[in-house]
Structure 1
Amino acid sequence: MQELGIVHRTIARASRADVEALSAFGVATVHEAMGRLGLMRPYIRPVYPSAKLCGTAVTVLLQPGDNWMLHVAAEQIQPGDVLVAACTTESEDGFFGDLLATSMRARGATGLVIDGGVRDVADLEAMDFPVFARAINSKGTIKATLGSVNIPVVCANALVNPGDVVLADIDGVVVVPAARAAQVAEAARQREDREEAKRRRFATGELGLDIYDMRGPLAAAGLRYID
């Protein structure tokens, strides 16, 4: 059962060094390096195409149509944090806009991921405040019902604990547990090195059929070439 009416002021964040290391990679690379884990559902999209972020999670549990807890969460933000907002049930109302973005940027936030709606998108893009959301929706919200801040939440099917590393770009959003951040960053670096070597081979015209040794398994599976 989810805790309501709770704000945890002290959380264990992933180290700045691990966050910086992970920030060098794209979401797809980190997801693969982590064993194809941690992705949020693909309906969470950047509200403008160039949006990207990487930081430590301050989590928020919202009530539908109510953004009260986003204002509560703003006080808990430290430089380098990403606000990750889930909701107790599906809601696409416009929980967040340029005023809250201004407040959160002043606290050092690097962006927002929300399983809900946002508005003022042109202003968010002009500010270059990266937001990844379920929907863009002008519908306003109220401030009447308690949720919680800095508790484990499930955001778009991904478990997010306070202090985890959240990475987002045009390909989606991935969550890296704080305890695995260093290991995943190293695995991502190794994967990037392997992919660069393959990229050079593809660029010379070599086929994936040969790079990945597919011909034998394809023949064994019954693939036939007919001239």
Structure 2
Amino acid sequence: MSSEPAHGRHVVVRTIKRAEAADIAGLGDAGTATVHEAIGRRGYLGPELRPIQQGVKVAGSAVTVRSHPGDNIMIHAAVEVCQPGDMLVVTSTAPSTHGMFGDLLASSLMARGVVGLVMNAGVRDTTDLRAMGFWVWTRHVSCEGTVKASPGSVNVPIGINGVIIEPGDVICADDDGVLAVPRAEAGWALEKSNARLADEEAARARLSAGELGLDMYGLRQKLIDMGVEWRD
């Protein structure tokens, strides 16, 4: 189930479909830049979502949370439905800079096997989170606290930076950012990403041997056609 709650009702959807584990792992290994290019430059959640750690590449199934600004009660509700290999993806109904997530919630999610968090608001306890090995991509880092007073929904479609994320979509995250791949496209996306990686390896060998990208990619003639002249 992944439909929008009818008549504005708040729901916690317990059961979602997930992509094949091998496809998720392969997309994580490929990295966001490669996958983004391979699938037609789609799914990027924007430069505002930055990692609090460095050198980490992960992918997982999206468990989505729609919360009220400055209120993290629905994150607590989401923990119960998470499974090993999931990525929690949280947004709020209006902009929020609050630190809505910290090390205690991370402990709960790690006990469920969750591989990371994408937070379209703020997190706190970042030193502890890094020490724990809980990986986070967030819009803000803030010590500002939250309340637990407003209902929201878990495992419904959410939007971040114009990208709609359905529960069970594959979330890839690394130092370059965060990318969402529709669950139904995961296998195809991995095939396209692997093909791109192979092409890049061949191109790397030619460039390392001294060939110019200007010639290898046919860019010299393109520049000539645009009126660029070479002069000594």
TM-score, structure 1 as length reference: 0.97
Match of 1:45 in 2: 50
Q: CA deviation at 1:4?
A: 4.4
Whether the 8 Å contact between 2:29 and 2:58 is mirrored in structure 1 is: no
Q: Given residue 148 of structure 2, which amino acid in structure 1 is its aligned partner?
A: K
Match of 2:115 in 1: 110
TM-score, structure 2 as length reference: 0.95
Provide the C-alpha distance between the structure 1 equivalents of 2:219 and 2:28, rounded to a whole number of angstroms: 33
Tell me: CA distance 1:29–1:174, structure 2 relative to 1, closer, same or farther (3 Å).
same
Match of 2:88 in 1: 83
Q: Secondary structure at the match of 1:6?
A: coil
Provide the C-alpha distance between the structure 1 equivalents of 2:141 and 2:9, rounded to a whole number of angstroms: 26
Provide the C-alpha distance between the structure 1 equivalents of 2:96 and 2:167, rounded to a whole number of angstroms: 22
Please, what is the CA RMSD of the aligned residues? 1.2
Matched, 1:198 2:203: yes
Whether the 8 Å contact between 2:122 and 2:140 is mirrored in structure 1 is: yes
- What is the 5 A alignment of 1:164-179? 164-179=169-184
Q: Given residue 107 of structure 2, which amino acid in structure 1 is its aligned partner?
A: T
Match of 1:9 in 2: 14
Whether the 8 Å contact between 2:31 and 2:57 is mirrored in structure 1 is: no
Whether the 8 Å contact between 2:36 and 2:42 is mirrored in structure 1 is: yes
After TM superposition, what 4+ stretches of structure 1 lie above 6 angstroms from structure 2? none
Whether the 8 Å contact between 2:32 and 2:173 is mirrored in structure 1 is: yes
Whether the 8 Å contact between 1:54 and 1:82 is mirrored in structure 2 is: yes
Q: Given residue 34 of structure 2, which amino acid in structure 1 is its aligned partner?
A: T
Deviations 1:140-161 (A, max 9, x none): 0000000100000002332110
For structure 2, the residue ranges without an aligned partner over 5 or more in a row are none
Match of 1:182 in 2: 187
Q: Given residue 171 of structure 2, which amino acid in structure 1 is its aligned partner?
A: V
Tell me: CA distance 1:4–1:132, structure 2 relative to 1, closer, same or farther (3 Å).
farther
Match of 1:73 in 2: 78
Q: Paired residue for 1:55, among 60, 69, 74? A: 60
Identity percentage over the alignment? Answer: 48
Q: CA deviation at 1:176?
A: 0.5
For structure 1, the residue ranges without an aligned partner over 5 or more in a row are none
Deviations 1:146-183 (A, max 9, x none): 01000000023321100000000000100000000000
Which has the larger displacement, 111-120 or 43-52? Answer: 43-52
Which has the larger displacement, 63-72 or 151-160? Answer: 151-160
Match of 1:24 in 2: 29
Deviations 1:41-87 (A, max 9, x none): 11100012234321000000010000000000000100110000011
Provide the C-alpha distance between the structure 1 equivalents of 2:65 and 2:138, rounded to a whole number of angstroms: 14
Provide the C-alpha distance between the structure 2 equivalents of 1:39 and 1:138, rounded to a whole number of angstroms: 27
Provide the C-alpha distance between the structure 2 equivalents of 1:72 and 1:175, rounded to a whole number of angstroms: 23
Q: Given residue 21 of structure 1, which amino acid in structure 2 is its aligned partner?
A: G
Q: Secondary structure at the match of 2:222?
A: helix
Deviations 1:7-31 (A, max 9, x none): 1111111121211221221100000
Question: May I ask how many residue pairs the two structures share in their alignment?
Answer: 227
Match of 2:97 in 1: 92
Which has the larger displacement, 7-16 or 159-168? Answer: 7-16
Matched, 1:214 2:206: no
Q: Given residue 189 of structure 1, which amino acid in structure 2 is its aligned partner?
A: N
Q: Given residue 213 of structure 1, which amino acid in structure 2 is its aligned partner?
A: G
